[in-house]
């Protein structure tokens, strides 16, 4: 019987409507079944869905549909990370209001996502720019403020003097603003900060509990937090009029063991002592100013030469007051790490060594490798930074570096200077507090009011939300909230006097730091509904790009902890399982050379294979073009494929199936026309095989335990077991490969079978097909529905239970063991599964190949690995 080709244009919208009509993806918080929360990182509403989204959301959807079939109550929501600069840029460039632009983009992207057939609970959808969402974010902010998790401090920012705005580091290109091109200045502004460093230790140690996270991400976070253990040592300044009131310099070090190798102290240009000296010394002032102004451009940082200036001050060595060392200001010392001052041991630190060589300061080796010779060990142009044995270090000589560390720590902790210990043990972190102030319009307003009399006053919760004004203009530089004629004027909630609103808005990373919790009860008029949060959190499987490995995930981990402290959540770790998927990449095409090079879209070129070489030409003119490297899809290189076009011509199922195929999901996948066609062939093939076997609906499925059907049932149930395992491990590419194998194996018997075929064989085939349909359902859900209805499946494939495999069909009664001779495969031995070792040995020795290899000798050894392999050593 001939059937029509599978028509996705008809089938896909039809099944999407059927799912919608029955609201089958709407999740009920009260459903008592075991929960499963799967979430993909929500998108920024740029206006167009790209292939990266398709891959990301397809993976999440496969998990959601699979877990639903396995009987879980699945939460699979979607929303929009909707605040941010692009909306303001659009406003400046095209005069569209950011809100209008954003909500239009959301509408068109939502339509695109809907076409993909994702099993999302759209009833929980929200955008972070919805007042209902950011109102709750403001409530959280106030609670954090109340708990001391938020504070203000002066901080250096990149200031664009033309746009009158603060720039993020990545918006500073070669020391200039990315938009204005103006030289960026460092300015001190009072900014709002979250106390993420309060949680540094916990954020670090809890990484060990995240065993369902990629090791790579955990390591990146670990390095980012950057914990170090050391000693904070106070160095007494030799009395000197120039030092002003300062009597000591505090230094943080992780290498107190090298204290006898100290050569000088170095402080940052921003160090209070340096600032004090600047006031009276023009030379020092000039050096500090220069150092402060460098730093912005990346190139300058990379090539930065070590530079310094001697302050003329001296300090006393903590272990020998008669030993005086000079104090330098050095450009490589950072004010915001440790104490902004270091002691330099040139023999044990490359930076210190470079500096010492340049300015002729002493270099004394104090640590040598364990196998070194104390008499001849010297340090040339390379510092010895490893551990080893102490030398030239008086009472530390001969000790290991670790023991020396302890001895120095004990000694200095017990030594008093001005009535306090000379040194204390200290743990330091690289992690800094999270600055959230942004001088922009399109973000969540920080809900505080500045009053002349009362200072910083939180907006009372009853007065929330602090709404963004709608009538704003973008024709002037600077923050539109600052420029607004009335918005910032408000009465102080405490004294009633004229006051002004905070015009900073929050970093958009704040918005994405708790949206996953909000999804559990987005209707709630509090930030969270505790019962819903406790029920759903943590997210069981979170899926997104590796680019969020550090900031987004770290901020979210912090935020969840802060929400726990303020009673809004009951847990610390928001994401139990994390998966970082690879990108979708594509070949690039271009014509012309150098500055005349012009990038070409994939749809404008034709690729052919001539004499084994791939040759590209422009479809329109036939002109030969250049096939370039495979790169991340980007507008600038024009190597993009529009998901809408793909869905139009091949359907959502094909697109979904393709992005899951071939490459492991954490690696990049290469988008190619040929690959998509391969996926499309599979979709058509499955449809043809199933729709042409029109007797399937009349037969009750039943696995065969003997006869012709046995092989089919075995393949079906083994595939089922394997794919189940693959999906549990998110190994989608392997599942796809097994589906191909399964369909290949099924194709012959299925096409040959007719209504007259032996009943038990037909029952086995029906069982196999019924399994197949449910195996493809998570990946190609529309096709599955179409097939499910053809074979007479009950209800929708989307709600069908996952099949259970029959253990007896998954194990073999006979196993085929490869037989090796001296580690090389020479034959196969098929033997009963439960054959014991000696039976296997007997059978192996009887084999011709073995006899031939032995030539009458006895084997040295026979290794039998049960169910695996036999190796005969001759």
Partner RNA sequence: GCGGACGUGGCGAAACUGGUAGACGCAAGGGACUUAAAAUCCCUCACCUCAGGGUAUACGGGUUCGACCCCCGUCGUCCGCACCA
Residues 744-803 that bind RNA (CB under 7 A): 744, 747-748
> Which residues face 872 on adjacent strands?
821, 862
What count of residues does the chain have?
874
Angle at 123 between CA 117 and CA 126, to 5 degrees: 100
18 burial (CB, 10 Å; 0-12 / 13-18 / 19+) is middle
- Taking the C-alpha atoms of residue 78 and residue 125, their distance in angstroms, rounded to an integer, is 5
Concatenated DSSP letters of 481-531: HHH-SSTTEEE-TTT--EEEE---EE-HHHHTTSHHHHTTSTT-SSS--HH
Candidates 189, 454, 737, 810: give the one binding RNA (CB under 7 A): 737
Q: Per CB under 7 A, does 871 bind RNA?
A: yes
Q: Per CB under 7 A, does 196 bind RNA?
A: no
Number of residues this chain uses to bind RNA (CB under 7 A)? 80
Task: Give the residue with the Cβ less far from RNA, 108 or 297.
Answer: 297
Q: Per CB under 7 A, does 369 bind RNA?
A: no
Which residue has tokens 């009963």? 832
| Residue 629-668 contact track with RNA, rule CB under 7 A, x = bound | --------------------------------xxxx--xx
Candidates 77, 98, 338, 480: give the one binding RNA (CB under 7 A): 338
Q: Per CB under 7 A, does 331 bind RNA?
A: yes
Q: Per CB under 7 A, does 721 bind RNA?
A: no
Candidates 525, 816, 837, 838: give the one binding RNA (CB under 7 A): 816
Interacting positions 588-627 with RNA (CB under 7 A): 609, 612
- Which own/partner contact pairs does 524-527 have at CB distance under 8 Å and 24+ positions apart? 524/136, 526/136, 526/139, 526/568, 527/136, 527/137, 527/139, 527/140, 527/563, 527/568
- Is 426 annotated to bind a ligand? Reply is no
Task: Give the residue with the Cβ less far from RNA, 230 or 602.
Answer: 230
Q: What are the DSSP E strand ranges found in 247-356?
A: 248-253, 264-267, 308-317, 320-330, 341-344
| Residue 672-711 contact track with RNA, rule CB under 7 A, x = bound | x-xx-xx--x--xx--------------------------
178 burial (CB, 10 Å; 0-12 / 13-18 / 19+) is middle
Q: Among 83-91, 177-185, 330-338, 796-804, which window interacts with RNA (CB under 7 A)? A: 330-338
Q: Per CB under 7 A, does 26 bind RNA?
A: no
Q: What's the min distance (Å) between Cβ of 209 and RNA?
A: 20
Interacting positions 243-272 with RNA (CB under 7 A): 252-255, 268
Question: Is residue 451 within 8 Å of residue 123, measured between CB atoms?
Answer: no
Q: Per CB under 7 A, does 830 bind RNA?
A: no
Q: Per CB under 7 A, does 525 bind RNA?
A: no
Q: What's the min distance (Å) between Cβ of 872 and RNA?
A: 8
Q: Per CB under 7 A, does 873 bind RNA?
A: yes
Task: Give the residue with the Cβ less far from RNA, 388 or 664.
Answer: 664
The two tokens of residue 725 are 């395992």
Q: Per CB under 7 A, does 823 bind RNA?
A: yes
- Taking the C-alpha atoms of residue 231 and residue 596, their distance in angstroms, rounded to an integer, is 59
Q: Among 73-81, 117-125, 302-310, 529-537, which window interacts with RNA (CB under 7 A)? A: 302-310
Q: Per CB under 7 A, does 351 bind RNA?
A: yes
Q: What's the min distance (Å) between Cβ of 48 and RNA?
A: 23
Interacting positions 210-239 with RNA (CB under 7 A): 215-216, 219-220, 223-224, 226, 228, 230
Task: Give the residue with the Cβ less far from RNA, 111 or 865.
Answer: 865
Q: What's the min distance (Å) between Cβ of 353 and RNA?
A: 11
The two tokens of residue 630 are 């495979």
Q: Are strands 150-160 and 165-167 parallel, antiparallel or unpaired?
A: antiparallel
Distances (CA, A) of 376 to 322, 354, 381, 615: 28, 22, 16, 65
Distances (CA, A) of 756 to 296, 695, 775, 790, 793: 81, 9, 28, 19, 22
Q: Per CB under 7 A, does 359 bind RNA?
A: no
DSSP 546: G
Q: Per CB under 7 A, does 869 bind RNA?
A: yes
Q: What's the min distance (Å) between Cβ of 443 and RNA?
A: 23
Task: Give the residue with the Cβ less far from RNA, 71 or 748.
Answer: 748
Q: What's the min distance (Å) between Cβ of 183 and RNA?
A: 19
Q: What's the min distance (Å) between Cβ of 539 and RNA?
A: 23
- 362, 366, 369, 375: CA torsion to nearest 10: 80
Q: Which of 77, 93, 92, 88 is nearest to 40 (CA)?
A: 77
Interacting positions 847-866 with RNA (CB under 7 A): 849, 861, 863, 865
Q: How far apart are the first and last CA of the chain?
A: 60
Candidates 182, 364, 550, 627: give the one binding RNA (CB under 7 A): 550
Question: Is residue 469 within 8 Å of residue 484, measured between CB atoms?
Answer: yes
Candidates 416, 759, 814, 828: give the one binding RNA (CB under 7 A): 828
Candidates 4, 302, 382, 418: give the one binding RNA (CB under 7 A): 302
- Taking the C-alpha atoms of residue 243 and residue 249, their distance in angstroms, rounded to an integer, is 11
Q: Among 190-198, 337-345, 532-540, 803-811, which window interacts with RNA (CB under 7 A)? A: 337-345
Interacting positions 427-466 with RNA (CB under 7 A): 428, 430
Q: Among 173-181, 241-249, 336-344, 590-598, which window interacts with RNA (CB under 7 A)? A: 336-344
Binding-site residues for ATP: 635
């Amino acid at each position: 019987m001939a059937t029509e080709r599978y028509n996705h244009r008809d089938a896909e919208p039809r099944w999407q409507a059927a799912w919608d009509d029955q609201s089958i993806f709407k999740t009920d918080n009260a459903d008592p079944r075991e929960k499963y929360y799967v979430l993909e990182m929500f998108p920024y509403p740029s206006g167009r869905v790209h292939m990266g989204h398709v891959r990301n959301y397809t993976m999440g959807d496969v998990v959601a549909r699979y877990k639903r079939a396995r009987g879980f109550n699945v939460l699979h929501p979607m929303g929009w990370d909707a605040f941010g600069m692009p909306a303001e840029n659009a406003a400046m460039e095209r005069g569209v209001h950011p809100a209008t632009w954003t909500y239009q983009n959301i509408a068109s992207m939502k339509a695109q996502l809907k076409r993909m057939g994702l099993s999302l609970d759209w009833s929980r959808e929200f955008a972070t720019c919805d007042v209902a969402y950011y109102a709750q974010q403001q409530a959280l902010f106030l609670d954090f403020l109340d708990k001391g998790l938020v504070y203000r401090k002066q901080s250096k920012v990149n200031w664009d003097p033309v746009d009158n705005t603060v720039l993020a580091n990545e918006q500073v290109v070669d020391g200039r603003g990315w938009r204005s091109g103006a030289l960026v200045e460092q300015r001190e502004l009072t900014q709002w900060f979250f106390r993420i460093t309060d949680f540094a230790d916990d954020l670090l140690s809890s990484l060990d509990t995240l065993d369902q996270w990629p090791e790579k991400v955990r390591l990146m976070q670990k390095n980012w937090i950057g914990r170090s253990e050391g000693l904070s040592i106070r160095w007494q300044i030799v009395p000197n009029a120039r030092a002003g009131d300062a009597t000591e310099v505090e230094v943080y070090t992780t290498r107190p063991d090298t204290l006898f190798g100290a050569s000088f102290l170095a402080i940052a240009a921003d160090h209070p002592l340096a600032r004090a000296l600047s006031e009276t010394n023009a030379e020092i002032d000039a050096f500090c100013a220069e150092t402060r102004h460098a730093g912005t451009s990346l190139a300058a940082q990379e090539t930065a030469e070590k530079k310094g200036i001697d302050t003329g001050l001296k300090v006393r060595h903590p272990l020998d007051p008669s030993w005086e060392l000079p104090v330098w200001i050095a450009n490589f010392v950072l004010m915001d790490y440790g104490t902004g001052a270091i002691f330099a041991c040139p023999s044990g630190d490359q930076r210190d060594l470079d500096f010492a060589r340049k300015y002729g300061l002493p270099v004394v080796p104090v640590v040598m490798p364990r196998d070194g010779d104390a008499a001849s060990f010297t340090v040339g142009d390379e510092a010895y930074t490893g551990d080893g044995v102490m030398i030239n270090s008086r009472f530390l000589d001969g000790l290991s570096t670790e023991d020396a560390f302890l001895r120095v720590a004990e000694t200095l902790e017990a030594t008093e200077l001005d009535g306090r210990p000379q040194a204390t043990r200290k743990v330091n972190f690289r992690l800094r507090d999270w600055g959230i102030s942004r001088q922009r319009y399109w973000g969540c307003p920080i809900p505080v009011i500045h009053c002349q009399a009362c200072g910083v006053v939180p907006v009372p919760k009853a007065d929330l939300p602090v709404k963004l004004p709608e009538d704003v203009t973008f024709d002037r530089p600077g923050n539109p909230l600052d420029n607004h004629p009335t918005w910032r004027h408000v009465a102080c909630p405490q004294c009633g006097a004229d006051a002004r609103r905070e015009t900073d808005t929050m970093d958009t990373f704040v918005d994405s730091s708790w949206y996953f919790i909000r999804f559990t009860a987005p209707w709630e008029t509090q930030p969270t509904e505790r019962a819903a949060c406790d029920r759903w959190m943590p997210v069981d499987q979170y899926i997104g790009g590796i680019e969020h490995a550090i900031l987004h995930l770290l901020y979210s981990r912090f935020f969840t902890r802060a929400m726990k402290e303020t009673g809004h959540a009951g847990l610390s770790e928001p994401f139990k399982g994390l998966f970082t998927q690879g990108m979708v990449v594509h070949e690039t095409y271009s014509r012309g050379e150098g500055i005349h090079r012009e990038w070409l879209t994939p749809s404008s070129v034709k690729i052919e294979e001539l004499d084994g070489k791939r040759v590209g030409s422009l479809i329109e003119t036939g002109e030969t073009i250049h096939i370039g490297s495979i790169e991340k899809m980007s507008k600038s290189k024009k190597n993009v494929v529009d998901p809408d076009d793909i869905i139009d011509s091949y359907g959502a199922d094909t697109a979904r199936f393709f992005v899951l195929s071939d490459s492991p999901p954490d690696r990049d996948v290469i988008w190619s026309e040929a690959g998509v066609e391969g996926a499309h062939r599979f979709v058509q093939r499955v449809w043809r095989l199933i729709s042409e076997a029109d007797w399937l609906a009349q037969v009750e499925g039943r696995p065969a335990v003997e006869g012709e059907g046995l092989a089919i049932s075995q393949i079906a149930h083994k595939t089922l077991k394997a794919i189940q395992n693959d999906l549990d491990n998110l190994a989608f590419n392997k599942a796809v490969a097994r589906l191909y194998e399964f369909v290949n194996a099924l194709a012959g018997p299925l096409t040959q079978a007719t209504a007259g075929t032996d009943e038990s064989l037909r029952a086995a085939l029906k069982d196999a097909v019924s399994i197949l349909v449910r195996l493809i359902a998570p990946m190609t859900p529309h096709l599955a529905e179409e097939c499910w209805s053809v074979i007479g499946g009950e209800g929708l494939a989307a709600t069908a239970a996952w099949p259970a495999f029959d253990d007896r069909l998954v194990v073999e009664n006979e196993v085929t063991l490869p037989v090796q001779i001296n580690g090389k495969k020479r034959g196969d031995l098929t033997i009963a599964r439960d054959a014991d070792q000696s039976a296997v040995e007997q059978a192996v020795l009887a084999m011709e190949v073995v006899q031939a290899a032995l030539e009458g000798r006895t084997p040295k050894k026979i290794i039998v690995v049960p169910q695996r392999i036999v190796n005969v050593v001759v």
